[in-house]
Amino acid sequence: MKKLIIIGGGFAGLRLARELRNRNFEIWLFDKNNYHQFQPLFYQVATCGLDSSSISFPLRKVFQGYKNVHIRNAEVQRVDSVAQTIQTNIGVFTYDYLVIATGATTNFFGSEEIEKNSIPMKSTSEALYLRNRLLQNFEDALSDKENLQAYLNIVVVGGGATGVEVSGSLAEMKKHILPKDYPEIDFSKMNIYLVEAGPKTLSAMSANASAKSQHYLEKLGVHVYTGTSVKNYDGRTVVLSTGKNIESRILIWAAGIRGNTISGIPPELILPGNRIAVDEFNRMKGSRTIFVLGDIACMQSSAYPKGHPQVATVAIAQARHLAKNLKKGEETMQPFIYKDKGSMATVGRNLAVVDLPFIKFGGWLAWLFWMFLHLMLVLSVKNKVLIFVNWVWKYFTFDQSLRLIVKPFRKN
């Protein structure tokens, strides 16, 4: 029985382990968290739309009853491809096959000041921290009238799906929820700024989707600045490339990602964005036993000269394909060919955009399509039901009761 180590319990790592459970493999799944995170809905946790438990699922629960799958809650520190071992904080482990599916983290593009003072949203814990900060800012605004406008200015950096979705969700909070929670504050003065360095929002989607998303955001009252970058943020003042300064107590950074690389990977295989170069079988170049999946993998081809899009559908497709190849054996492996099934993003209530290979549309129908697909991708039936009930309740009441400031406990 071959020993397969998978690093990362995200979409790719989890899917691969599930495809190979009860097969002739001894599977060891390593992750620094003991749960799988549904990343596309982080923004809803951050804006009080969903509870964090609705989008997280214990890894051990997934594999209950499968004796060939072993879960280890540990951090992998180094890979030794010659000795075929990994070094972790709980010891050294050998492998026959290694799969690196460590995903990506926030890219601050070298700005230490922005990294120190802004809030990213690439994990459940970061989404919860953002929720705490958002709510605490409004609490602080009640007693700091001198700086009230700074608390009411929220800056979101990055016009991709995450930036667009969190901006739209904040705009809906401003309209339907915050005035009822904080009647002493005049929320007509609240400003939500979306800052995008490129010429349009949702640049990875069609021109139709980009134009519609910006129209929807502006319809919701979001100030959209395209062709503009953030030069600095010290925790109080956002400095834009246009020369404009915005006084704000919160900056949400959704402007870019970079791969979570591991020590021991040959430097010449680390491509821009910290992605690892792989061949057509998703094997790390120069290796027979190491595979790389998901956001951290970069398979360059004529169709995708910069690698595949860093989205869940690609990661899942790669995992399924690798599972088939491993079942068949190395001698009969087939190359991975990605069939683009489309992309989508939601802006707000009844507002979304969908790009499919055969049709592109927006509005209410796109919003329903977005909700249905995301429900299907959520891991458990229980979580699907919880999310659906939350969405239905919010749709009819324009409200949600998840606005809790949960502070970490520190024992002196």
- What pLDDT is recorded for position 23? 82
97 with 326: CB under 8 angstroms?
yes
- What pLDDT is recorded for position 412? 63
Per-residue pLDDT reduced to its tens digit, 223-258: 999 999 999 999 999 999 999 999 999 999 999 899
Q: What's the count of helices (H) and strands (E) in the chain, helices before strands? A: 12, 25
DSSP one-letter string for 358-401: S-EEESHHHHHHHHHHHHHHSS-HHHHHHHHHHHHHHHHHS--S
Per-residue pLDDT reduced to its tens digit, 102-148: 999 999 998 999 999 999 999 999 999 999 999 999 999 999 999 99
Sign of CA dihedral 285, 342, 21, 382: positive
Question: For residue 406, is pLDDT > 90?
Answer: no
- What pLDDT is recorded for position 409? 74
Question: For residue 361, is pLDDT > 90?
Answer: yes
Per-residue pLDDT reduced to its tens digit, 9-20: 999 999 999 999
- What pLDDT is recorded for position 235? 95
Beta bridge partners of 276: 270, 297
Per-residue pLDDT reduced to its tens digit, 32-87: 999 999 999 999 999 999 999 999 999 999 999 898 999 999 999 999 999 999 99
Q: What is the mean pLDDT of residues 344-367?
A: 94
pTM for this entry? 0.93
- DSSP 8-state secondary structure symbol assigned to residue 23: S
- What pLDDT is recorded for position 279? 96
Distance CA 179, CA 409 (A): 30
The b-or-e profile of 26-42 (16+ CB within 10 A means b, else e) is: bbbbbbbeebbbbbbbb
User: Which one has a higher pLDDT value, 399 or 169?
Assistant: 169
Question: For residue 31, is pLDDT > 80?
Answer: yes
Per-residue pLDDT reduced to its tens digit, 284-343: 999 999 999 999 999 999 989 999 999 999 999 999 999 999 998 888 999 999 988 899
Confidence bin at 398 (pLDDT 50/70/90)? confident
- What pLDDT is recorded for position 407? 79
Sorted by where each starts, the structural domains of the chain and their CATH numbers stand as 2-106+257-332 (3.50.50.60), 112-255 (3.50.50.60)
Question: For residue 101, is pLDDT > 90?
Answer: yes
